[in-house]
Chains A and B, each alone.
Chain A
Amino acid sequence: MEQDNIISNAETSSTAPSAKTIIDVKGLYKGFGNVPVLSNLSLQLFENENLVVLGKSGSGKSVLIKCMVRLLTANSGSIHIFGKNVNELDDGELAELRVKIGFLFQSGALYDSMTIRENLEFPLIRIKKHLSRKEIDQKIEEALENVGLSDTMNKMPSQLSGGMRKRASLARTIVVDPMIMLYDEPTTGLDPVTSDEISTLINNVQKKYNTSSIIITHDIECARTTADRVIMLNKGEVYLEGTIEEFEQSTDELIQSFFKIRPPQ
Chain B
Amino acid sequence: MKDIGPIRQRIAKLPSVKNQAIKLSENAIKKTQKANRFFLEIGEFNLFLWLTVKASFSRHFEFKEFLRQCFLVGNKTVPLITLTGLVIGLVLTIQSRPILVDFGAVSKLPGMVALSIVREMGPVVTALICCGKIGSGMGAELGSMKVTEQIDAMEVSSTNPIRFLVVPRVLAATLMIPILVLYADALGILGSWAGSNIKGDVTFVLFFTQAFSAIGFSDFFPAVIKTFFFGAAIGFVGCYKGFTAGRGTESVGKAANQSVVLASVFVILIDLIAVQITDMLY
Contacts and interface: CB of A to CB of B under 8 A. Distances in A.
Nearest to B60: A126
Which of A66, A105, A110, A127 counts the most chain B CB atoms within 10 A?
A105
Nearest to A126: B159
A105 to B, nearest CB: 5
A40 interface: no
Contacts of A123: 157-159
Contacts of B157: 98, 122-123, 126-127, 176
A111 to B, nearest CB: 6
B75 interface: no
A105 B159 contact: no
A131 interface: no
Contact of A105 (B145, B152, B158): B152
Given A105-B149, A109-B150, A112-B150, A69 B158 contact: no
A93 to B, nearest CB: 11
The B interface is mostly helix, strand or loop, or mixed, namely helix
Nearest to B152: A71
B148 interface: yes
B156 A71 contact: yes
Interface size class of B (residues with CB under 8 A): 10 to 19
Interface string B141-171: 0001100111011111111000000000000
A106 interface: yes
A99 B150 contact: no
Interface string B73-103: 0000000000000000000000000000000
B152 A109 contact: yes
Nearest to B156: A103
Nearest to B148: A107
Contacts of A106: 149
Size bracket, chain A contacts: 20 to 34
A10 interface: no
Contacts, number: 46
A71 B155 CA distance: 8
B68 to A, nearest CB: 9
A109 B148 contact: yes
A50 B129 CA distance: 54
A260 B159 CA distance: 43
Contacts of A96: 158
A101 B156 contact: yes
B33 to A, nearest CB: 12
Contacts of B145: 111-112
Nearest to B72: A113
B73 to A, nearest CB: 14
Nearest to B159: A126
Contact of B159 (A69, A103, A122): A122
Contacts of B159: 122-123, 126
A62 to B, nearest CB: 10
B158 A109 contact: no
A95 interface: yes
Contacts of A98: 155-158
Interface of B: 144-145, 148-150, 152-159
Given A107-B149, A111-B153, A127-B157, 14 more contacts: A71-B155, A95-B158, A96-B158, A98-B155, A98-B157, A103-B153, A105-B153, A106-B149, A109-B150, A112-B145, A122-B157, A126-B159, A127-B158, A176-B157
- Closest 7 CB pairs between A and B? A109-B153, A123-B157, A109-B149, A95-B158, A103-B156, A105-B149, A98-B158
